[in-house]
Amino acid sequence: MDLQIKGSVSQILEEQSGESKNGTWRKRDFILETEGQYSKKVCITQWGDEIDKTDIQEGGAITAHINIQSREYKGNWYTDVKAWRIEKGSTDREMGSGDTENAEPSGPPKPSEEIYDVDDELPF
């Protein structure tokens, strides 16, 4: 399964490194702000050589191919979002010309009133 998340990098956190029984490790977290009306912030981790493969920058638009993994420790569950590939590219926000007055509305088209009974009080 290929999970992807698109957005803009809002923050790059400091790289961390250390030693384990398997050798030296490195990781870097960054915060990705998703697109859409109700945007979300997601903390994504890059491990090892993946850090050097992509030069991400704050404000840059990317698509992150991710794995999501949860693990249990002393009765608590922790979830990691790990990027295994990052593609640079423009988000929907950056693709616009900045002219929002004449822009087409985003999202699905509004339903025609002919299909629905307009006298119905419920919006759904």
Task: Give residue limits of the domains in the chain.
Answer: 3-94
Assigned token pair, 11: 């923050």
The pLDDT tens digits of the residues spanning 91-117 come to 454 444 344 344 444 444 444 444 444
Strands 76-88 and 16-20, bridge-based pairing: unpaired
> 17 and 25 in contact (C-beta within 8 Å)?
yes
The pLDDT tens digits of the residues spanning 61-80 come to 999 999 999 999 999 999 99
Residue 1 has a pLDDT of 67
Residue 81 has a pLDDT of 94
Does the 3-94 domain belong in CATH 2.40.50.140?
yes
With b meaning 16 or more CB within 10 Å and e meaning fewer, what string describes 109-119? eeeeeeeeeee
Q: What is the pTM of this model?
A: 0.66
Four-residue CA torsion sign, 52, 56, 62, 64:
positive
